[in-house]
Structure 1
Amino acid sequence: MNETNTLGDVSILGLGSMGTALARALLQRGARVTTWNRTRSKAEPLAAEGAALASSAAHAAQASAVVVVCVTDYPSTYRALEAPEAAAALAGKVLVQLSTGTPQEARDAEAWARQHGADYLDGAILATPSQIGRPESTILASGSETAFRKGKPLLESMAGTVTYLGGKVGAASAVDLAFLSHLFAGLVGFYHGARICEAEGLRVADLGAMFAGVAPAIGGMIKHDADSIQAGTYESSEATLELCAKALDLLLRQSREAGLDPALPAFASALFRKGVAAGYGNEGPSALMKVLREGA
């Protein structure tokens, strides 16, 4: 990452935990950072580190060629920039949206930015605040290619990996939500697994260590299924959907035997059993996508 003062000017709107981490990473890598937050006290610690504090969102937008927004959601972005002078200050600037939202919100924001003369880039952060600026952090971006080229050095100062997903502005938020779908479903599965260990008097910490160790294998399984779905080939090579359904039935039985909440295995078992009933039992587990498509 660039450690010299060649990154230029950037304004950060929104100084929650993530916005503060973004601003701090940019300061540490030599950017000239202007910050703004509705609660000014959150910006004051960054002033001691070299950031300029704007008195309003309009002043922050006027200060830099690239304006990065990292607030609670897209409506909060509009509220921050709703004053006519703030919206007018965006003309000719690059507006980078790093708040969490949906693909439709990204498309609406792009249209709003164009109306105000800004070049728009939609982004998604795949990291926690403490990971910002470190190799394991990732920022996805989609939308204007010219905005991406101008903002890329700044984005690379905030994340170890920056991936441009193309001109379809909703792509970053779509992939982000796809990632969150996997993340939260996986977390619920892990928490259920933690309850299984507790019920048997086993250490949850040991389970976590095991998960960390097998993470590459799990990633390989997911990639295999993703390739299968993309190609539309669901032949079973190592496991079948019916075999997975039987494993989920076992999870459900164990939950009832141990007095655990059966909600997760019951939901998953019913979904896989639906695939078996539809005639996909001898195919690979990725054939469950057919069931999910039929339910759309």
Structure 2
Amino acid sequence: MAQIAFLGTGLLGSAFAEAAAKRGDVVTAWNRSANKVEALAAFGVKAAATPADAVRDATRVHLVLKDDAVVEEVIAAARPGLADGAVVIDHSTTLPALTVQRAARLHDAGVKYLHCPVFMAPAAARNAQGTMLVSGPGALYDIVKDELAKMTRRVKYLGERQDLAAANKLLGNALIIGLVAVMADVLTLAQASDIGSMDAIALLKLLDLNGMVDGRGTNMAKGNFTPSFELAMARKDVALMLELAGNRPLAALPGVQARMDALIAKGHGADDVCMLGIDTVRRD
């Protein structure tokens, strides 16, 4: 049985705290809006008035906060109560450069800090599903890895480079947000075509997204633009989509069209549609 603290009990933080209490940990939590902590009393989570009160005697302190500024503010407020040897585990999505600075500053001050952002919704956090990324000192990760494994289906340790978890979290979120935007446009096109929304989603389930990442994603990353779907032909299809949508708002396709037009103007129309990623190809 561990004594731990959660600072930040929004949707994800409260789910983590609930799950930890159900596993038998002694959990104390703090949140700026006290009612969000009080709602966890039914699971045995104790409410604290301040971050310093929450972390007192805790062996692990989990941060689930909005952004870098809030992380800095809450860590500063918690420091007076932080026990010697306590590990601060930061699940917040943050800017890589600021994460590096924060980790170095805390290390110099003797604070044990790991950045551990996650890919999981609240329901997944309650059921120990999803993925957790970790970067920071390997020796520190070894201390907490078994406990982290109880929180999620998959823990991926990326190494000692302090910004890797933060950067990889943004890569993953870019894909998630991009897919959401494209799916919104698909549903807009379905509406314009008098096709039911669920029928459109059923169509998307027929597509092999992992195969596309493995095929076109790999080609893009390697700079292989041998055409199998020419950029000019893809641009023609986007034009048809925009015409079909009419004056309905679109989330992603207008930006795709603009990028295609710029590349075609540079003479890339006969190359593969993967040419959209030409500027990411490393030039050593």
**TM-score, normalization by structure 1:** 0.84
Aligned residues: 282
Cα distance, 1:80 vs. partner? 1.9
Residue 243 of structure 1 aligns with an amino acid whose one-letter code is M
Counterpart of 1:170?
A: 163
- State the distance in 2 between where 1:264 and 1:227 align: 22
Matched, 1:253 2:243: yes
2:58 touches 2:82 (CA, 8 Å); kept in 1?
no
User: What displacement does 1:133 show?
Assistant: 4.0
Alignment pair present for 1:223 and 2:214: yes
Correspondence for 1:75 among 69, 79, 84: 69
Tell whether the 8 Å contact from 1:249 to 1:265 is kept in structure 2 after alignment.
no
* Cα deviation digits, residues 100-133 of structure 1 (max 9, x gap): 2111121122123213311221122212112214
Q: Residue in 2 aligned with 1:241?
A: 231
Misfit runs of 4+, over 6 Å? none
Q: Distance in 1 between matches of 2:250 and 2:20?
A: 46
Task: Decide whether the 8 Å contact of 1:81 with 1:87 is kept in 2.
Answer: no
> Alpha carbons of 1:34 and 1:198: their partners in 2 closer, same or farther (altered >3 Å)?
same
Residue 192 of structure 2 aligns with which residue? 199
Mean alpha-carbon deviation: is it higher for 279-288 or for 12-21? 279-288
Counterparts of 2:134 and 2:114, CA distance in 1: 7
Cα–Cα, structure 1 residues 25 and 263, in superposed 2: closer, same or farther, change >3 Å? closer
1:120 paired with 2:113, answer yes
Matched, 1:152 2:142: no
Do the aligned partners of 2:114 and 2:136 also contact (CA within 8 Å) in 1?
Answer: yes
Shift of 1:87: 4.7
For residues 251-291 of structure 1, the C-alpha deviation after alignment (integer angstroms, 9 at most, x for no partner) is 223233xx323674332112123223333333332222224
Alpha-carbon contact 1:240-1:284 (below 8 Å) kept: yes
- Counterpart of 1:59 (choices 36, 53, 66) is 53
Is the contact between residue 221 and residue 281 of structure 2 (CA under 8 Å) also seen in structure 1? no
Structure 2 portions without partners, runs of 5+: none
Compute the displacement of 1:208 (Å): 2.1
Task: Please say if 1:267 is aligned against 2:247.
Answer: no
Query: Is 1:46 matched with 2:36?
Result: no
Aligned mates of 1:231, 1:38 — CA distance in 2: 46
> Are the equivalent residues in 2 in contact too, given 1:18–1:128 (CA < 8 A)?
yes
Aligned partners of 1:62, 1:21: CA distance in 2, in Å?
21
SS in 2 for 1:60: helix
- Contact 1:91 1:116 (8 Å CA) reproduced: no
131-140 or 197-206, which moves further after superposition? 131-140
Residue 34 of structure 1 contacts residue 53 of structure 1 at CA under 8 Å; is this kept in 2?
A: yes
- Closer, same or farther: CA 58–40 of 1 in aligned 2, 3 Å: same
| 2:97 alignment partner, SS class | helix
1:36 is aligned to 2:21? no
- Structure 2 contact 220–277 (Cα < 8 Å) conserved: yes
TM-score (norm 2): 0.87
**Partners of 2:130 and 2:154 within 8 A in 1:** yes
Aligned to 1:23: 17
Report the Cα offset of residue 293 of structure 1: 6.8
Q: Which moved more, 1:285-294 or 1:166-175?
A: 285-294
Give the match for residue 85 of structure 2: 92
Identical-residue share of aligned pairs (%): 23
Change (3 A) 1:37 1:90: same
Q: Deviations over 1:33-63 (max 9, x none)?
A: 2222233332233333233333431232232
Distance 1:164 1:99 in 2: 16
Tell me, in whole angstroms, the C-alpha distance in 2 between the residues paired with 1:29 and 1:200: 50
Alignment check: 8 A CA contact 1:90 1:118 kept: no
1:126/1:119 CA distance change after superposition, 3 Å: same
